[in-house]
Amino acid sequence: MLQDKDFRVRLFLARRIGVLFQTWSGHEELFQDICSNFDVPLVIYSRGKVVTAKEVVAAGPQSQTAVETVVLTLMHLALQSDKIELEAMFMICVVSAMDPYHRELVRAIVDNLSKELQYMTRTKYLEELLGPILFCWVACGVSLVALVESLVSMLTLLMAF
């Protein structure tokens, strides 16, 4: 269903996929299985698997709606498991950095996650994750300029509130 041509089917699954994490305890393995079923190449930094930004760029442009579904799925997964939250947020941030088209969606996701996870502010949520995300960022060869642009974009919205 993650590769269905109809956005509504993919969105339905994205909203419901978290139930798997309530059922099984192997969150890291389950997360890897789900990510391997996305029909979109993503920058990944996880146990035993690294996909660099160079590899993702070499795969060529991807469907905007497919990437949006992936990002929404990652958000729902991050909400369900603190064991994979960092990996999911890293992947979400990389999408925002590599394709500015998705920055508004990522801003909304960061806003939603910080509220759902009961952080005092969205800035506090990003502050907590920034160190580990930066480590993964460098390890995967993602542009540091893109990181700064993406963070400035997120923080600009944050300061407006």
Instruction: Give the predicted TM-score (pTM) of the model.
Output: 0.86
Q: Going by DSSP bridges, is the β-strand pair 44-46/49-51 parallel, antiparallel, or unpaired?
A: antiparallel
Condensed to tens digits (0 to 9), the pLDDT of residues 27-73 reads 888 888 888 888 899 999 987 788 999 999 999 999 898 899 999 99
pLDDT bracket for residue 1 (50, 70, 90): low
Query: Count of CB atoms within 10 A of residue 84's CB?
Result: 22
- CA-based Rg of the chain, rounded to a whole angstrom? 15
pLDDT at 156 over 50: yes
pLDDT digits (tens, 9 = 90+) for 79-117: 988 999 999 999 999 999 999 899 999 999 999 999 999
CA separation for the pair 34, 98 (Å, rounded): 21
- Residue ranges of the domains in the chain? 7-159
